[in-house]
Chains A and B, each alone.
Chain A
Amino acid sequence: MNMKLETLVIDPPAPTRKIGGVILDLQNISLRFGGVKALTDISFDIREHEIRAIIGPNGAGKSSMLNVINGVYHPQEGRIVFRGQERRQMEPHMAATQGIARTFQNIALFKGMTVLDNIMTGRITKMKSTFVEHALWFGRARQEELAHRRKAEEVIDFLEIQHIRKTPVGRLPYGLQKRVELGRALAAEPSMLLLDEPMAGMNVEEKQDMCRFILDVNDQFGTTIVLIEHDMGVVMDISDRVVVLDYGKKIGDGVPDEVKNNEEVIKAYLGAGH
């Protein structure tokens, strides 16, 4: 088999970007840690294939919101309806099997592993072989490793990180680590991707690259994207709808232009005296 040919055979699916119905509906979510109210009575929905931004000042509860969506935090009140089904007890690993992937605000890569291994780990929910087969390199183990390697290479090609596939991620510069983390999330072929400040700390070019990847993911794979970002230029440019949080409460929701002119949002960002 020729590797060159293998990796080139990725036919980009025809652009599927057409915003569909509600895929995730959050109703009256409240989350408390002891006496601290992280989220209070927040409701919004996420539609299929859209890019949905969550913005707000520091400490507004944006990351908590993502943690609620993928089951790391359990809200005390409220309903979460995902694909028409109300979600009950939830463990973080279950979100992954339901097709929700995420990246973290502070890079959460597996530092001791290579880029390739990190991305392969992203596909772990799709692997069926058992550890006995792994130990003996027998049965499904070999087949699976090769098949998933091929998928991992598609992600590597997509993100243009071929040259570092065998590098331990701990040695990579910050911008590339962010990209690898996106790769690990993409490797799971998620239907919904939660990105927690994917562009924090990047220079302009790196931001542009990241924007391009996010738009491409959304466009080519039809992935629904939930994005937390502080760069308002980026948010207003790429997102379809924006929800604004402040002190754990929702203060705005709508298309970027609406949000930009929302009195309360301006107040939260620029202060009341403005």
Chain B
Amino acid sequence: MLYREAGQFKTSYAADQQLFPIRQDRIGVLLLLAAAFLAVPGMASEYWFSAILIPFLIFALAALGLNILTGYAGQLSLGSAAFMAVGAYAAYNFQLRVEGIPILVSFALAGLTAAGVGVLFGLPSLRIKGFYLAVATLAAQFFIVWCLTKFPWLSNNSSSGVISAQKVEILGHIFESPREKYLLVLTVVVLMALAARNLVRTSTGRAWMAVRDMDVAASVIGIRLMPTKLLAFAVSSFYCGVAGALYAFCYLGSVEPDGFSLEMSFKILFMIIIGGVGSILGSFLGAAFILLLPIFLDVGLPWLAELFHLPFSTATVSHIQTLVFGALIMFFLIVEPHGLARLWQIAKEKLRLWPFPH
């Protein structure tokens, strides 16, 4: 009863194929956007912006990028962090070396640079699949980080490759406070998420999913495998590259190559596995889960320990935190291997009838 589709008649294909065909989805998304753009900036503290909301949005964008490649096009990749590094360093270099280039343009160029590198490392996907491809993308992970440390030109000769991001200035306005940076990141992420949604509901997305589900059949109905797979690598790396640029310019301020480690790539991979492979919403849910849960446990566990007068040292609490985190991941994967996005979908299906039995 709470989630009713009954009575919403579509009288044209245009109405049936819009971005959010169901009325309550439309309203929900608009409310969410209104909250994110209007309510949150007024309410959240500086800590919330710089430690929670900004990294959440940036990792959600990176997860979205990986989800396009792995979830929609079915090509497993372990190089997301490296493509973020390409984005971060490219944006830095464009700012540094091109006089008067607007920051947003250098973000876009950073994305395109990452896309180019992504296509290059996507070439093996034409021959190999699955885990073997994952190993090939692992090469990207190690090679790019090595490259950024090895060639000082890329980090303007700074020691051990550390770069300090330049000021973020758009139309003469300098984005300095966490609140302003949050709004900038939010805008970029929302626009790119909408673009991703458009991509996956049109023939580009159908071609990706066709290649994912059954590549022989896909080629027989006229999909050319090579351009389709490489496009997925390009778009995915573009998203990761922009996320990397935002990571350097709007979150950390200064980054080093080793920061974009394999561990970070795995973190992004876990986000889409937990959130939902092949779901845009899932990228956001997964990023929230992986980033927010440790913070939540950080605050919650000591509080619980105190409540029950348990003699836990801080060290024990942090061990328990890791245990609980791991256990929760396993629990979610067993209960719903298709991720949080599927849980949400099931909830919606149930809410169609609930509280009535049928």
Interface residues of A (CB under 8 A from B): 1-3, 6, 70, 72, 91-93, 95-97, 101-102, 104, 108-113, 117, 120-122, 124-125, 127, 129, 131, 134-137, 141-142, 144-146, 149-150, 153, 184-185, 188
Q: A3-B12, A72-B216, A104-B217 are in contact. Are A188 and B222 (CB under 8 A)?
A: yes
Inter-chain CA distance A44–B207, complex, in Å, is 35
B204 within 8 A of A: yes
In whole angstroms, what is the CA distance A2 to B10 when docked? 9
Q: Which of B16, B210, B225, B231 contacts A110 (CB 8 A)?
A: B210
Q: Which residues of A contact B223 (CB under 8 A)?
A: 93, 121, 124
Give bound CA distance, A102 to B216, whole Å: 12
Quick check: A109 and B214 within 8 Å, CB to CB?
yes
Chain B: minimal CB distance from A10 (Å)? 15
**Inside 8 A of B221's CB, which chain A residues have their CB?**
96, 101, 121-122, 124-125, 184-185, 188
Q: Are A93 and B224 in contact (CB under 8 A)?
A: yes
Check A135–B206 contact: CB distance below 8 A: no
Contacts of B123 in A (CB 8 A): none
| Shortest Cβ distance from residue A50 to the other chain B in the assembled complex, whole angstroms | 22
Q: A127 CA to B278 CA in the complex, in Å?
A: 23
Q: Mark B207-231, 1 if CB is under 8 A from A, else 0.
A: 1011011101111111111000001
A71 (CB) vs chain B CBs: closest residue: B220
Q: Cβ of A92 and Cβ of B11 under 8 Å apart?
A: no
Instruction: Evaluate contact between A102 and B17: CB separation under 8 angstroms.
Output: no
Contacts of A91 in B (CB 8 A): 219, 224
Interface status of B13 (Cβ within 8 A of chain A): yes
Known contacts A131-B199, A134-B199; is-contact A149 B216 (Cβ 8 Å):
no
Q: Evaluate contact between A108 and B217: CB separation under 8 angstroms.
A: yes
B24 at the interface (CB under 8 A from A): no
Alpha-carbon distance between A5 and B198 when the two chains are bound, in angstroms: 28
Structural contact, A121 and B202, CB atoms closer than 8 A: no
Q: Are B203 and A134 in contact (CB under 8 A)?
A: yes
Write out, one digit per residue, whether chain B residues 296-315 have a CB within 8 A of any chain A CB (1) or not (0).
00000000000000000000
Check A3 against B209 for contact (C-beta < 8 Å).
Answer: no
- Residues of A within 8 Å of B213, CB to CB, are 109-113
Instruction: Say yes or no: is B171 at the interface (Cβ < 8 Å to chain A).
Output: no
Q: Are B17 and A121 in contact (CB under 8 A)?
A: no
Contact A131 B217 (CB under 8 A): no
In the complex, the 10 A-B pairs of residues with the closest C-beta atoms, listed nearest first: A96-B222, A108-B217, A125-B222, A110-B213, A134-B202, A135-B195, A92-B219, A131-B204, A149-B13, A121-B206
From B12, B17, B219, B235, A93 is in contact (CB under 8 Å) with B219
Residues of B within 8 A of A110 (CB): 209-210, 212-214, 217-218
* A-B pairs with beta carbons under 8 Å apart, 23 shown: A2-B11, A70-B220, A91-B224, A92-B216, A92-B219, A92-B220, A109-B214, A109-B217, A110-B214, A112-B209, A117-B209, A121-B203, A121-B221, A127-B203, A131-B204, A134-B198, A137-B202, A141-B198, A144-B203, A146-B13, A146-B17, A150-B13, A153-B13
A3, A120, A131 — which one has the most chain B CB atoms within 10 A of its CB? A131
When chains A and B are docked, how far (Å) is the Cα of A150 from the Cα of B198? 19
Point out the residues of chain B lying under 8 angstroms from A146, CB to CB: 13-14, 17
Q: Among B219, B225, B235, point to the contact of A131 (Cβ < 8 A).
A: B235
- Chain B residue at smallest Cβ distance from A100: B220
Given A121-B221, A127-B203, A131-B199, A108-B216 contact (CB < 8 Å): yes
Contact A149 B17 (CB under 8 A): yes
The answer to whether A72 and B210 touch across the interface, beta carbons within 8 angstroms, is no
Q: How far is A188 from B222 in the complex, measured between Cα atoms in Å?
A: 9
- Chain B contacts with A in 283-337, Cβ cutoff 8 A: none
1/0 contact string of B221-247 vs chain A (CB within 8 Å): 111110000010001000000000000
**Distance, CA A93 to CA B16, complexed state (A):** 30
Taking a contact as CB atoms closer than 8 A, the residue among B11, B209, B214, B278 that contacts A1 in the complex is B11
A167 CB to nearest chain B CB (Å): 13
Determine if B195 and A3 form an interchain contact, defined as CB atoms under 8 angstroms apart: no
Q: Are A112 and B231 closer than 8 Å at their CB atoms?
A: no
- Please name the residue on chain B nearest to A130 by beta carbon: B204
- Whether A124 contacts B11 by the Cβ 8 Å rule is no
Q: Which residue of A lies closest to B232 (CB)?
A: A131
Residues of A near B214 (CB, < 8 A) are 108-111
Chain B residues contacting A188 (CB-CB under 8 Å) are 221-222
Check B217–A124 contact: CB distance below 8 A.
Answer: no
Alpha-carbon gap, A1 to B10, bound state (A): 10
Bound: A121/B214 CA distance, A: 12
Report the minimal beta-carbon distance from A15 to chain B, rounded to whole angstroms: 27
